[in-house]
C-alpha cells in the first residue's frame, strides 16, 4: 500500500495514562502529596503503526483493555498521542457515542442542528440534509417534540443519523452498530457500505467477530496496547480466535 | 494562530451552543425569559430595603443627571457584578458539566466558556435595557451613553471569560475550585462598592491612611462599577485613569486565560 492511497497513517503512536493511587482530586491531597509523584505510568497504546487504505472498512479487534478505544479516541482527536503521530487525509467524523450533546428540553429539530454543528456542519449544510437525516432516523412524527420524551431507540437513531450524514471522508465508529432494532441495523450497515463505495473510509471497533469479518477488509489486532497483527480480515480474526481458545486451555 | 483560525471557522458552533443555553434555560416555565428579570428585581428590593431604609445608605447625587434614587444607583453596579459572577461560575463549571461532550466529540473546547459568556450576556443585555429605560423614565439621560456602555460591557465580558477560563482548567484538576470560588466571589462583592458608595471607603481612608483607598481601588470590578455608574447614572465620561485601567486589565486577563486554556485544552478529555 503506497502512502498516497492511505486515508489514515498511524505512525508509532503511544498513549500513556497516569494512574494515581488515590483518585482524590482535591487540593488537600495534592498538598499532602507534596512534590512526590505517586502516579504510575500506564501505556494504553504502545508504539502502534499501521495504515488504513482509502475506501475500505478497517476493523480494530482485541480483548477488553487492549487499547482499542484509546486508539480510536486518539484517531478522533479526543486524546493526543504522547509519542508518534496520526495523519488523517480528509475530514474525519467520530461516532463514539451517538446523541452526545443532545439537550433534553430542546426538540428533535433543534437538537439535529445543535448536534450537527458540534460535528462540524454548517447551518446551510444541515438545511440541505435535514429531511434526509430525519427520514433515515425514522422519527418524523416526533421531530418537534423535546428529545427527553423520546424512547432510547429513537434518541440513538436520531443521533446516529446526524452523525452519518455529516458526510465525512473518514468515519470512526465505536460499536454503535448495536443500536436500534434489526431493521435499523440493516439500514446502518447499508449506509456504511455506501460510504466505502463512495471511496470513504470507515474505522470501527467491534467485539463481534462475525460482524468484523462481514464488514471489514482489513483488521488490526491489539493486545495489551501493542499491535499483534495487521492484515486481511479473515486471517487476522482467525489468529485472534485461535489465541483466545489457546488462552482458555 | 491556527487555533484562532479554527475558533473562527467553527463560530457557528458557538452560536448554537449559546442558543442551547438560552433556549434550554427557561423551557417549561410559565414566565420564561421573564425569570431573568425577576431575579435581579428581587435582589434589588432586598438590598433597597436593607441598605436604603434600615442602614440609610445615601448614594451620591448623579452629576450631571441629578438622579438620587438608591435602587437605580444600586442596579448600575449590581447588574455588571451579577454578570461577572455568573460568567465566572458558569464558565468554570462548563468543563465538568459538559464532560460527556468533551469525552466523545472533538471541537474547540474554548467554545464552552465562550457560550456561557454569550448566553449570560444575552440575559444581561435585557436587564441593562430595562435599567436604561427606568433611568430614562426617572429623569436621567442614559440613552446617548448606550454605545459607550456597550463597549464597556464587551470589556467586562473579556475580563470575566478570562478569569473563567483559568478557573475552568484549575477546576478540572481540583474540584475544590468551584467551592472556593463561591466564597471568594461573595467576599469580592462586598469589597466592591456595589451596595454602598465609594465615599464610605474614602472617609475611612482619611482616618486610616491613603493606602487603604489605593489598595481598595486595585480591584478591577471597582473600576468597572465606577465606569458603568458614570455612564448610566451620572451620564458623563468616566475618568481616563479608570478607562485605561479596565482596558488594560481586560486585555491582560483575557490573554492570560486564553493562553492557559489553549495550553491545557488537549488533555481535558483524559483528565475529566
Residue ranges per domain, chain A? 3-91+168-248, 102-161
Q: Tell me the C-alpha distance between B204 and A38, whole Å.
A: 51
- Pairing type for strands A40-53 and A6-19 reads antiparallel
CATH homologous superfamily of A3-91+168-248: P-loop containing nucleotide triphosphate hydrolases (3.40.50.300)
Q: Domain tally for chain B?
A: 1
- In the DSSP assignment, the letter for residue A140 is G
Selected residue with higher pLDDT from B130 and A5: B130
pLDDT band for position B1 (cuts 50, 70, 90)? low
Which domain covers residue B242, as residue numbers? 20-271
CA distance A103 to A80: 28
Residues of A in contact with B13 (CB under 8 A): 117-118, 120
In terms of Cα–Cα distance, which of A93, A94, A71, A95 is closest to A84? A71
Q: What are the pLDDT digits (tens) for B34-86? A: 888 888 889 889 988 888 888 777 777 888 888 888 999 999 999 999 999 99
Alpha helices in A165-217 (DSSP H): 182-197, 209-215
Binary contact (A106, B23; C-beta < 8 A): yes
- Residue B90 Cα distances to B116, B176, B251, angstroms: 6, 15, 21
CA A177 to CA A204: how far, in whole Å? Answer: 9
Q: How many Cα atoms occupy the beta-carbon half-sphere of A204 within 13 Å?
A: 25
- Among A70, A102, A75, CA closest to A86: A75
Could you tell me if the ipTM is greater than 0.85? no
Look over chain B and give the mean of its residue pLDDT values, rounded to a whole number: 91
pLDDT band at B253 (very low <50, low <70, confident <90, very high): very high
Instruction: Output b/e per residue, A75-90; b: 16+ Cβ within 10 A.
Output: bbbbbebeebebebbe
In chain A, which residues touch B (CB < 8 A)?
Answer: 17, 25-28, 30, 73, 76-80, 94, 96-97, 100-101, 103, 105-106, 110, 113-114, 117-120, 122-123, 146
Give contacts of B15 with chain A, Cβ < 8 Å.
Answer: 117
d(CA B163, CA B184): 13
Chain A nearest-CA residue for B29: A105
Of A106-120, B16-30, B93-107, B158-172, the least confident: B16-30
Assess contact for A60 and A71: CB atoms under 8 A. Answer: yes
Domain contains B200: yes
Question: How far does B195 lie from chain A, in Å, by closest CA?
Answer: 33
pLDDT for A25 equals: 62
- Quick count: other Cβ atoms within 10 Å of Cβ B228? 25
Q: What is the pLDDT of residues B173-212, one digit of tens each?
A: 899 999 999 999 999 999 999 989 898 899 889 988 889 9
Copy the grid coordinates of residue B190.
462586598
The rounded distance, in Å, linking the Cα atoms of B267 and A64 is 23
pLDDT at B30 over 90: no
**Short-list A72, A77, A154, A152, CA closest to A120:** A77
Triad A234, A88, A55: Cα angle to 5°: 45
Closest Cα to residue A242, out of A27, A61, A16? A61
* Dihedral sign (CA B39, B41, B46, B51): positive
Instruction: Please tell me which of B3-12, B190-199, B218-227 the model is most confident about, judged by mean pLDDT.
Output: B218-227
- Partner residues linked to A171 by β-bridges: A93, A202
Asked whether the beta carbons of B269 and B103 are under 8 A apart, the reply is yes
Residues of A whose CB is below 8 A from B24: 103, 105-106
Cα A33 to Cα A25, A37, A208, B178: the distances in Å are 12, 7, 44, 21
Q: Is the peptide bond before A144 cis (omega within 30 degrees of 0)?
A: no
The residues of chain A scoring below 50 in pLDDT are 1-3
Among residues A144, A140, A191, the alpha carbon closest in space to that of A165 is found at A191
Mutate: best of B105, B266, B271, partner A, most A CBs <10 A = B105
Amino acid at each position: 500500500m503506497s502512502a498516497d492511497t492511505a486515508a489514515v497513517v498511524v505512525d508509532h503512536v503511544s498513549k500513556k495514562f497516569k494512574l494515581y493511587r488515590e483518585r482524590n482530586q482535591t487540593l488537600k491531597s495534592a498538598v499532602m502529596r507534596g512534590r512526590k509523584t505517586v502516579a504510575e505510568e500506564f501505556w494504553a497504546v504502545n508504539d502502534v503503526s499501521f495504515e488504513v487504505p482509502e475506501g475500505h472498512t478497517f476493523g480494530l479487534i482485541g480483548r477488553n483493555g487492549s487499547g482499542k478505544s484509546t486508539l480510536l479516541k486518539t484517531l478522533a482527536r479526543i486524546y493526543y498521542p504522547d509519542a508518534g503521530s496520526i495523519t488523517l487525509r480528509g475530514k474525519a467524523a467520530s461516532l463514539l457515542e451517538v446523541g452526545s450533546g443532545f439537550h433534553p428540553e430542546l426538540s428533535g429539530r433543534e437538537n439535529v442542528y445543535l448536534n450537527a454543528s458540534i460535528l462540524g456542519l454548517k447551518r446551510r449544510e444541515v438545511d440541505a440534509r435535514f429531511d434526509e437525516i430525519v427520514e433515515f432516523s425514522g422519527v418524523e412524527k416526533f421531530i418537534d417534540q423535546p428529545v427527553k420524551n423520546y424512547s432510547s431507540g429513537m434518541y440513538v437513531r436520531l443521533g446516529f443519523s446526524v452523525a452519518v450524514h455529516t458526510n465525512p471522508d473518514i468515519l470512526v465508529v465505536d460499536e454503535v452498530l448495536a443500536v436500534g432494532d434489526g431493521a435499523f441495523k440493516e439500514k446502518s450497515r447499508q449506509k456504511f457500505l455506501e460510504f466505502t463505495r463512495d471511496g470513504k473510509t470507515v474505522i470501527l471497533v467491534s467485539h463481534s467477530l462475525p460482524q468484523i469479518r462481514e464488514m471489514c477488509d482489513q483488521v488490526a489486532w491489539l493486545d495489551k496496547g501493542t499491535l499483534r497483527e495487521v492484515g486481511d480480515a479473515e486471517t487476522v480474526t482467525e489468529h485472534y480466535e485461535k489465541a483466545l481458545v489457546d488462552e482458555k486451555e | 494562530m491556527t487555533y484562532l483560525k479554527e475558533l473562527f471557522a467553527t463560530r457557528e458552533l458557538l452560536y448554537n451552543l449559546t442558543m442551547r443555553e438560552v433556549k434550554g434555560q427557561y423551557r417549561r416555565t410559565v414566565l420564561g425569559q421573564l425569570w431573568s428579570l425577576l431575579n435581579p428585581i428581587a435582589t434589588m428590593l432586598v438590598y433597597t430595603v436593607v441598605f436604603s431604609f434600615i442602614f440609610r445608605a445615601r448614594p451620591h447625587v448623579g452629576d450631571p443627571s441629578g438622579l438620587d434614587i438608591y435602587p437605580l444607583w444600586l442596579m448600575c453596579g449590581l447588574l455588571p457584578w451579577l454578570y461577572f459572577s455568573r460568567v465566572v461560575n458558569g464558565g468554570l463549571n462548563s468543563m465538568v458539566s459538559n464532560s460527556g461532550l468533551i469525552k466523545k466529540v472533538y471541537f474547540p473546547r474554548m467554545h464552552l466558556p465562550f457560550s456561557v459568556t454569550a448566553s449570560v450576556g444575552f440575559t444581561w443585555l435585557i436587564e441593562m435595557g430595562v435599567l436604561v429605560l427606568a433611568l430614562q423614565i426617572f429623569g436621567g439621560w442614559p440613552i446617548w451613553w448606550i454605545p459607550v456602555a456597550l463597549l464597556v460591557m464587551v470589556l467586562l465580558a473579556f475580563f470575566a471569560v478570562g478569569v473563567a477560563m483559568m478557573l475552568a482548567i484549575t477546576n478540572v484538576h481540583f474540584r475544590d475550585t468551584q467551592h472556593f470560588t463561591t466564597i471568594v466571589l461573595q467576599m469580592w462583592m462586598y469589597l466592591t462598592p456595589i451596595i454602598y458608595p465609594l465615599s464610605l471607603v474614602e472617609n475611612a481612608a482619611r482616618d486610616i491612611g491613603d493606602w487603604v483607598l489605593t489598595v481598595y481601588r486595585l480591584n478591577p470590578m471597582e473600576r468597572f462599577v465606577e465606569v458603568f455608574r458614570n455612564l448610566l447614572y451620572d451620564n458623563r465620561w468616566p475618568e481616563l485613569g479608570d478607562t485605561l485601567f479596565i482596558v488594560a486589565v481586560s486585555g491582560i486577563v483575557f490573554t492570560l486565560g486564553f493562553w492557559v486554556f489553549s495550553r491545557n485544552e488537549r488533555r481535558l478529555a483524559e483528565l475529566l
